[in-house]
Chain A
Amino acid sequence: MDFIAIFSIFILACFVGYFVVWSVTPALHTPLMSVTNAISSVIIVGALIASAAAGSATSKWLGLAAVVMASINIFGGFAVTARMLAMYKKKER
């Protein structure tokens, strides 16, 4: 993909982010942070590519280290978000 196409996606996604995040209720700002943490670890994609590539041993081990770190974040981030969200309960009537 050429740079302009990618850049367009990026700018549009910034706008989507702006509107979606303002619609998040302030009561859920902490879960918002932990879930954004989890999804920003989509960087694991780059780590997996590096780990699977032949050609440089250093690059492969850096990739594997990044896979571990991103994976801690993904599993930890989604799990802690789920734990928090399960605590939010409505009034019993």
Chain B
Amino acid sequence: MDIQSLLAAATDGHGAVNPWAAVAYLVSGVFFILALRGLSSPASSQRGNRFGMIGMTIAVVTTLVTHVPMKIGDATNSYVGIDAVAMAEILAAIGIGAVIGIVMARRIAMTAMPQLVAAFHSLVGLAAVAVAAAAYLNPLAFGIADAAGQIYTVSRIEMGLGIAIGAITFSGSVIAFLKLNGNMSGAPIMLPARHVINLGTLAAIIGLVAYFTFDQSPWVFWTVTALSFLIGFLLIIPIGGADMPVVVSMLNSYSGWAAAAMGFTLGNTAMIITGALVGSSGAILSYIMCRAMNRSFISVIAGGFGGDDAAAGAGGAKEQRPWKPGSADDAAFLMSQAENVIIVPGYGMAVAQAQHALREMGDLLKKEGVNVKYAIHPVAGRMPGHMNVLLAEANVPYDEVFELEDINGEFAQCDVAFVIGANDVTNPSAKTDKSSPIYGMPVLDVEKAKTVLFVKRSMGGVGYAGVDNDVFYMDQTMMLLGDAKKMADDIVKALNGGGH
């Protein structure tokens, strides 16, 4: 046996992969693991991101070198060798993507990060669909078919799963993007008998993928594709705005599984390792988000939560209770006299673009000798970790920002809890009232602070869950009604004027 056939035997079955290329893909996979490992602390995170870039460069260069487009001579042209035009097209495609990607990354506002991530997920999904379709149309080029053009059975299953997951990721992410970007209402759209429709479609997809192993005709392949696009759309439309952090995480997971399925088709370890990493990452983030809202994954998928119905239902039963109003001057005085202040920001703070004014307020308080900390609830933003990014953008040092379980014990010792743009995540009824829709959700214990300053637009509105918050009516609470940014600015002015 000569070397060539030995190598071929070593990589038989799943694509004719050159062993050196296989090693390079494995190295690239290891770099991706290191990239995620780097995110265990902000200090090592930038190095982690660079590892990711190195891994990607290795994977892309290896593929470019091992899959050079070749021209095979024909009757009119006897040239045999590198197809320069095809190579230029490929490099141009990478270049176009690079320009679009970098421009998007530079321009995007940090508040719009969830939309950007959803848009990126949809691209992974669509790319997976395109690759699976390309492999279906030209299976010999991927080494997944015999000489007669019959695709291997295993490859058919992998390909079917790849295109299904890819298509679901694409259409689901498009809907998530439209909802997050405000092009589509965040209210759930409930089709009649939607569970029957969804389960039926899902069963049809699974059945057709199984049938695909017997019959590789185009109608089977394209029907699976069309039904998968449809189910992705159907699965996300009934999910309300409040559950979007779970949806974004879930789609993150799907985009990983899509990459893994294509990795199986191509026998590519870099794709399989990455797919498994991303798939688990998204699944864990979905779990963390569900736990933070005390919602089960099934109930999120079933949809219907966080719509207008819930808000309207709770609004009717509200009673009038006395509450204490306060001004920016009062707030400035109380906080400058305090020893410990914990700031609790929510998404309303980010919507009002109050993060810079808030950080300035924190700086002035620190100058007065006040110990300032920030407390973040896992669902404070619109995607996992979103609030941390928004505070980091406003130059709040990350070692002053604490997660719920790390800081919850400190509210009892703190003089002032300053809640801005958050509501449900501070509601003590989640701990005591079994009839509350948010019962069981972990909340920040702001009611234990000596004084609570609650910045809120008006007394009328309620949070996503549509429940009243007892903290508003407590003796130690002062309601600071107004726009979050204006209130923070006014407090800064009062601190500047009164303090010195």
Chain A residues engaging chain B, CB cutoff 8 angstroms: 1-3, 6-7, 9-11, 13-14, 16-18, 20-56, 58-60, 62-92
B42 near A85 with CB under 8 A, answer yes
- B41 CB-CB contact with A under 8 Å: yes
A6 near B264 with CB under 8 A, answer yes
Measured in the bound complex, the distance between the Cα atoms of B282 and A21 in whole Å is 9
Chain A residues near B395: list those with CB within 8 A. Answer: 87, 89
B397 near A13 with CB under 8 A, answer no
Min CB distance, A77 to chain B, in Å?
Answer: 6
Which B residues from 46 to 72 make CB contacts under 8 A with A?
46, 48-49, 52-53, 55-56, 59-60, 63-64, 67-72
A49 near B67 with CB under 8 A, answer yes
Known contacts being A37-B255, A62-B137, A67-B93, is A74 close to B56, with CB within 8 Å?
yes
Min CB distance, B494 to chain A, in Å?
Answer: 25
Write 12 A-B pairs (CB below 8 A) sorted by A numbering: A21-B36, A26-B376, A27-B403, A32-B285, A35-B36, A45-B266, A68-B93, A68-B96, A84-B389, A85-B49, A90-B398, A90-B399
Chain B residues near A74: list those with CB within 8 A. Answer: 56, 97-98, 101
Min CB distance, B459 to chain A, in Å?
Answer: 32
Count how many pairs of residues, one from A and one from B, have CB atoms less than 8 Å apart in the complex.
Answer: 398
Chain A residues near B124: list those with CB within 8 A. Answer: 37, 40-41, 43, 69-70, 73
Known contacts being A9-B269, A37-B120, A38-B56, is A76 close to B101, with CB within 8 Å?
yes
Which B residues from 244 to 290 make CB contacts under 8 A with A?
248-249, 252, 255-256, 258-260, 262-282, 284-285, 288
- B35 CB-CB contact with A under 8 Å: yes
Chain B residues near A7: list those with CB within 8 A. Answer: 264
Measured in the bound complex, the distance between the Cα atoms of B45 and A85 in whole Å is 7
The 7 closest A-B pairs by CB, nearest first: A71-B97, A29-B385, A76-B101, A53-B141, A17-B280, A75-B101, A13-B276
- Across the two chains, which residue of chain A brings its CB closest to B385? A29
The A interface is mostly helix, strand or loop, or mixed, namely helix
Min CB distance, A39 to chain B, in Å?
Answer: 5
Measured in the bound complex, the distance between the Cα atoms of B268 and A66 in whole Å is 17
B400 near A91 with CB under 8 A, answer yes
Known contacts being A50-B131, A52-B67, A65-B130, is A32 close to B94, with CB within 8 Å?
no
Which B residues from 126 to 160 make CB contacts under 8 A with A?
126-128, 130-131, 133-135, 137-138, 140-142, 154
Measured in the bound complex, the distance between the Cα atoms of B191 and A48 in whole Å is 40
- B17 CB-CB contact with A under 8 Å: yes
A18 near B138 with CB under 8 A, answer no
B378 near A26 with CB under 8 A, answer yes
B392 near A89 with CB under 8 A, answer yes
Measured in the bound complex, the distance between the Cα atoms of B279 and A33 in whole Å is 11
Min CB distance, A32 to chain B, in Å?
Answer: 5
- B105 CB-CB contact with A under 8 Å: yes
- B346 CB-CB contact with A under 8 Å: no
- Across the two chains, which residue of chain A brings its CB closest to B89? A64
Min CB distance, B347 to chain A, in Å?
Answer: 13
Chain B residues near A53: list those with CB within 8 A. Answer: 67, 69, 138, 141-142
